[in-house]
Amino acid sequence: MRRRASIGLVIILIAATIGIFAYVMANGSAPIGPPIPASNVFSKIITATIQQEVCPNNGSGGVPEPITIVPLTSYLQVQVSDPDGCTLTISHAAAAPGQMLMISNCCITNPLVIPEIANEQMTNGSSISVGRYDTAMFLYINAPTTTNRWVELSFSNN
């Protein structure tokens, strides 16, 4: 008798689960809580994409290597191979207003310098020196009276 009651309870729970699932599929939400549009069900999945750039050793002795990057992702790791450092310029080529970019100097202690460039990339009024494991975050803004530009949001000195 007890076994029949357990089996009956399992059948009721399975039926209730199927019923709720069918309701959600038909209406986009469960009967309790705010509705969830069916188009947004999978939009919360985030994938981390890393763009990696290497600042080569130019062998010039005493002169930092200049590089310009075109950000294709929101996270950029730069490996500075030149012992004199690297001067980084962020391109506008593929940028869109509202795009955010986090830049980190991974791996090596050689300095990565992000300069202030008028009407192009705005830092804190001077260059940012991004050391090993430091990060700088930028936002690409639409500046209707001048030109679009990369603006520093934050800097983390680790």
Give the pLDDT confidence of 88-145 residue by residue, as tens digits: 888 888 888 888 999 988 877 888 889 888 767 777 778 888 988 899 999 998 877 6
Mean model confidence pLDDT for the chain: 74
For residue 34, is pLDDT > 80? no
Which helix H or strand E contains 26, and what residues bound it? helix 2-27
Report pTM: 0.64
Strands (E), the chain: 51-55, 65-69, 75-80, 86-90, 100-105, 112-114, 121-122, 128-130, 135-141, 149-156
Question: Which residue intervals of the chain bear CATH 2.60.120?
Answer: 51-156
Q: Which of 12-26, 28-42, 77-91 shows the lowest mean pLDDT across its residues? A: 28-42
Tell me the CATH number for domain 51-156.
2.60.120
Q: Using CA atoms, how far apart are residues 88 and 19, in angstroms rounded to an integer?
A: 57
How would residue 45 be classed by pLDDT, with cut points 50, 70 and 90? very low
Name which of 125, 117, 87, 118 is nearest 103 in CA terms.
87
Looking at per-residue pLDDT, the higher value among 9 and 93 belongs to 93
End-to-end CA distance of the chain: give it in Å, rounded. 67
Length of the chain as a residue count:
158
